[in-house]
Amino acid sequence: MPTKMLQIPTTDGQADAFAAFPDHGGRHPGVLMYADAFGLRPALREMARELAGHGYYVLAPNFFYRHGPAPLIDLPAHIGEEARSSAVARLMPLIEAHTAERVLSDADAYLGFLAAQPEVGPGPVAVTGYCIGGLLAMRTAVANPGRVAAVAAFHGPVGADGPDSLHRLTAEAHFGHAETDLTPEALGELNRALDVAGVGYTSEIYPGTVHGFTMSDTDAFDPSALRLHWDRLLPLLGRTLTDD
């Protein structure tokens, strides 16, 4: 599986990024993958490689690049609850500084860079995101209707920008929520807003999960939920993206 560490020019500097893509040559549909707040690390790179193995060029940027290259903080091989709390406290100022304006400016750079890669085929791409990356994925998809055909967000605050943002979403979407992140009542409200907006979507609570359930290096990890994540994500990409 070919992989690369890349530097993506942005209006504010250079964003370091990880890319993985199939090793059989040719051009492949592009996927922009936003990490959770813990950023680029072995577990995230393994997810990118897994997705690339299904025939996609996957680009995972360090969206906190303004504060330095990844990893921004030292993380243990397994992020237990004590380590998680400490890491989140250190990362929260970076999260708060990552404004919607920065997200959209960076997204334009990431999408342009992705489209320019010789291994990436023409046509729209997909955007996926985890935790805070789910919100970044939604903002990217809403702001780029002609460039993004699908968006998937897992245990992320996808409704944080309110109903108006949903009305601007044209990409087909899947939202996989943690049981501890969203009540059934809140899920119903979100899905009704998606219905009113006319969005093509699936949106569900993954049973028995806690926030961060896709991340294999955390206490939140749930192997069955990660399998469900792939069972939802791969058909979405298969429907919406095409090979060259």
Q: Are 166 and 194 spatial neighbours (Cβ–Cβ below 8 Å)?
A: yes
Domains and CATH numbers, the chain: 3-240 (3.40.50.1820)
Nearest to 196 by CA among 228, 164, 221: 164
List alpha helices for 53-170, DSSP H: 81-97, 100-116, 132-143, 163-167
For residues 5 and 57, give the distance between their C-alpha atoms in angstroms, rounded to a whole number: 13
SS3 153: strand
pLDDT at 46 over 80: yes
- 57-113 residue pLDDT tens: 999 999 999 999 999 999 999 999 899 999 999 999 999 999 999 999 999 999 999
* Burial classification of residue 149, based on how many CB atoms lie within 10 Å of its CB (0-12 exposed, 13-18 middle, 19 or more buried): buried
Residues pairing with 151 in the sheet: 127, 173
Residue located via tokens 């996957």: 58
| pLDDT tens-digit readout, 217-230 | 999 999 999 999 99
- How many CA atoms lie within 13 Å of 38's alpha carbon, on the beta-carbon side? 24
* Block residue for tokens 């530097």: 7
Digit-coded pLDDT (tens) for 175-211:
999 999 999 999 999 999 999 999 999 999 999 999 9
- Mean pLDDT, rounded, for 4-24: 96
Report d(CA 43, CA 78) in Å as an integer: 10
Bridge partner residues of 58 (DSSP): 20, 31
0.85 cut: is pTM over it? Answer: yes
CB 205 within 8 A of CB 177: yes
pLDDT band at 243 (very low <50, low <70, confident <90, very high): low
**Which residue type occupies 198?**
G
Alpha-carbon distances, residue 213 vs 117, 138, 224, 226 (angstroms): 32, 19, 9, 7
Contact 180, 211 (CB under 8 A): yes
